[in-house]
Amino acid sequence: MKKALFFFSVFFFLFSLPFWFSCCTLNRLEKNLKPDDAEFLSTVRYIITSEERKIFLELPESEKEQFKEEFWKRRDPDPDTEENEFKEEYYNRLERANELFLGEGRPGWLTDRGRIYILFGPPTERQTFPMEAAGYCWEEWYYGSFPVIFIDEHCSGNYILSAINLEHLQDLNLAQGYFQNTITQERSFFDYNLKLLRSERTADQLRATLSFSIQYEQIWFEVKDNASLETELYLTLELKDKTGRVVWRGGKTIVLGFKDEDELKKMKGKKFMMDVDIKLPDGEYPLPPSGKYLLYSNLKQRTEGKELKKVIELKL
């Protein structure tokens, strides 16, 4: 038995030796890359194949620039035009990921959420849960019917991709291979902000004001025949106690419009803002006791049908 185990160990060592030397050689080559070449290899890590990486590392320095040009040309969806839409979109997503996913101790494009955003683009639906009874925060993104979950165990802002099961992990790997060649025009990352602005309680009344905001770039508008732009946002709110009982419901329909695209462009970098008032009792719901509550919000756009759900904790 010991002899068989010895021969198996020797066989495994000899079999794996070429692979081990190959990995060591490639790692050594990567460490010795010039800064520009190292930056290129790091930047394209999500879309370069293992074979392409090996070829690039083994090429002489004089041929690396030509490799970079051909690398992007192979991914150009329309070679007859001067623009390389794939390359432009890839770098746009890198930049956008850096803006969206801050606070994890590394650039946003190197985070798990950044990687998924770069490969798949903005999700068709995104749900965020900053406060969970289980003691952790999490986000759930949907691409069609396929969910991608990120968990922040300590609510520190560090979200880690969590595979739901092996089937979903396989789907994600297959999708990653597919989307490496199908990056399309950028869509906005749908998000909004909702927070408690102020609250006041008396013996028989509760008055609170919520602040709602969303960047104009994240709103999809419908172009009318006269070139004007219009859309509607539907905000619904539910306030629940720790048992899950609804203590208040509210909502607003937000109608937005601009006379033309130029007028909308002037709003770049700006936010649409409004206040939402909570007044209890209101005829339907009685005055709840003092304590902590969960506010469930849902925002949906008429144009494109984008939808986002959030949960935040309020002390009222």
**Which tens digits make up the pLDDT trace of 199-229?**
999 999 999 999 999 988 888 888 888 888 8
The reported pLDDT for the residue numbered 222 is 84
Going by pLDDT thresholds of 50, 70 and 90, the confidence category of residue 14 is very low
pTM of the model: 0.57
The contacts of residue 131 (CB under 8 Å, 6+ apart) are 137, 155, 294, 311, 312, 313
Measured between its terminal Cα atoms, the distance across the chain in Å is 71
Q: Position of tokens 């749900």?
A: 127
Q: Which H or E run includes 167?
A: helix 166-179
Cα-Cα-Cα-Cα dihedral sign, residues 123, 146, 164, 94 = negative
**Which tens digits make up the pLDDT trace of 242-251?**
888 999 999 9
d(CA 96, CA 191): 13
Pull the structure tokens for residue 200: 């006041």
Pull the structure tokens for residue 57: 């590392």
Mean pLDDT within 264-286: 90
pLDDT greater than 90 at residue 181: no
**Which tens digits make up the pLDDT trace of 277-305?**
999 998 899 999 999 898 888 898 887 67
The reported pLDDT for the residue numbered 15 is 46
The reported pLDDT for the residue numbered 13 is 42
Residue 299 contacts residue 307 (beta carbons within 8 Å): yes
DSSP 224: P
For the ranges 77-91, 171-185, 273-287, which has the lowest average pLDDT?
A: 171-185
Nearest 5°: phi and psi at 155? 55, 40
Q: What are the chain's domains?
A: 2-73 (no CATH), 85-179 (no CATH), 193-315 (2.60.40.10)
The reported pLDDT for the residue numbered 180 is 45
Contacts 24+ apart (CB under 8 A), 163-171: 171/146
pLDDT greater than 80 at residue 67: yes
d(CA 312, CA 296): 7
